[in-house]
């Protein structure tokens, strides 16, 4: 089943057209990688999916994005509910300057959860899902800024999971991390891919090849090729895709 369906999406920054006529369907409970050279529109596309582009002035969207059948750019859409459903993990780990507990509890509290025991349970489950519980269970009240970069990023994943999203968007989540931390996050993503639909933007072709089920190749604001990851890396249909994944440009 598809969780996201994009039809003829155009996206503008002012007068610049950053995405051109994108149509794609993203499968539920799988990992979809978006690859392409810098400025190809893959991050812009990702941020259309939870309407984070709304924060930038002078942007415009044409076409439709259906998430579980609902057009998220229709006038009466509840953005709070949308973002609860579609979580996001950013390039740079960005925990709040609060305790580990408060970081995780922030989302559920924002959505009205006040019961202490329920919040504690959410914190524990979320940290367990993000494979961070063992390292943090004795220091939940310590500042999240004291964690290492990799731990901070897993905390951000836990924080996103705490509001029970169905879809998880990840914008180059390992680009600020060392190889060991990257490996842990990748293992975590593979684990999460069983229960969540993950869309990940990555600069690393190896990463896309290692963890994703489907891969979409963006180039100059267009979706050039979209297929099973194995097919993209073994037998790309378009010459641009082949040249990019073999490292001849980008």
Partner 1 sequence: MSRRNLDRILDTLIWLSAFFSVAVLLGILGFVFYKGLGKISLHFLTASYKTDLSGGIWPMIVTTVYLVGLSLLFVTPLGIGAAIYLEEYAKEGKLTRLITFATESLAGIPSIIYGLFGMIFFTTVLGFGFSLLSGALTMMILLLPTMLRTTQEALRSIPREYKEASLALGASRLRTLFKVILPSALPGITTGMLLSIGRVVGETAAIYLPLGMYYEIPKSVFDSGRTLSVHLYLLAKEGISFEHAYATAAVLVVVVLLMNQLTKFFKSTMEVKK
* Residue 107 binds to partner 1 (criterion: CB under 8 A): yes
* Residue 73 binds to partner 1 (criterion: CB under 8 A): no
* Residue 83 binds to partner 1 (criterion: CB under 8 A): yes
Mark the segment that binds partner 1 (CB under 8 A) among 33-41, 86-94, 180-188, 223-231.
86-94
* Residue 156 binds to partner 1 (criterion: CB under 8 A): yes
- DSSP one-letter string for the chain: -EEEEEEEEEEEETTEEEEEEEEEEEETTSEEEEE-STTSSHHHHHHHTTTGGGGSTTEEEEEEEEETTEETTSTT--HHHHHHHEEEE-SS----SSBHHHHHHHHHHHTT---HHHHHHHHHHHHHHTT-HHHHTT-TTSBGGGS-HHHHHHHHHHHHHTT--SEEEEESTTTTS-HHHHHHHHHHHHHHTTTSEEEEE-S-HHHHHHH-SEEEEEETTEEEEEEEHHHHHHS-SSHHHHHHHTTS--
Identified binder of partner 1 from the candidate list 106, 131, 139, 176, rule CB under 8 A: 106
Reading the block at residue 242, the tokens are: 């082949």
| Shortest CB 189 distance to partner 1, Å | 18
* Residue 94 binds to partner 1 (criterion: CB under 8 A): yes
| Shortest CB 162 distance to partner 1, Å | 8
| Shortest CB 49 distance to partner 1, Å | 11
Mark the segment that binds partner 1 (CB under 8 A) among 105-113, 129-137, 181-189, 226-234.
105-113
| Shortest CB 110 distance to partner 1, Å | 4
Of residues 33-52, those binding partner 1 (CB under 8 A): 50, 52
Identified binder of partner 1 from the candidate list 46, 65, 72, 88, rule CB under 8 A: 88
Q: Which residues bind partner 1 (CB under 8 A)?
A: 50, 52, 55, 57, 79-84, 87-88, 90, 92, 94-97, 106-107, 110-111, 156, 159-160, 163
């Amino acid at each position: 089943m598809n969780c996201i369906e994009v039809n003829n999406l155009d996206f503008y920054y002012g007068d610049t057209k950053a995405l051109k006529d994108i149509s794609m369907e993203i499968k539920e409970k799988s990992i979809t990688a978006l690859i392409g050279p810098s400025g190809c529109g893959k991050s812009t596309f990702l941020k259309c999916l939870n309407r984070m582009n709304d924060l930038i002035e002078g942007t415009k969207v044409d076409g439709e994005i259906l998430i579980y059948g609902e057009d998220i750019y229709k006038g009466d859409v509840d953005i709070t509910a949308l973002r609860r459903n579609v979580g996001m993990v950013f390039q740079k780990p960005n925990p709040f300057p609060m305790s580990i507990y408060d970081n995780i509890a922030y989302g559920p509290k924002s959505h009205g959860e006040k019961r202490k025991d329920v919040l504690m349970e959410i914190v524990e489950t979320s940290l367990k899902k993000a494979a961070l519980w063992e390292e943090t269970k004795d220091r939940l009240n310590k500042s999240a800024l004291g964690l290492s970069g990799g731990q901070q990023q897993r905390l951000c994943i836990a924080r996103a999971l705490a509001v029970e999203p169905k879809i998880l968007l990840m914008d180059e989540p390992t680009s600020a991390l060392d190889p060991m931390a990257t490996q842990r996050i990748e293992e975590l993503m593979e684990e999460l891919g069983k229960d969540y639909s993950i869309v990940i933007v990555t600069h690393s072709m190896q990463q896309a090849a290692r963890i994703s089920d489907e891969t979409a190749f963006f180039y100059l604001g267009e979706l050039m090729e979209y297929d099973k990851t194995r097919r993209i890396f073994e037998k790309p249909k378009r010459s641009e895709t082949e040249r990019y994944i073999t490292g001849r440009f980008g």
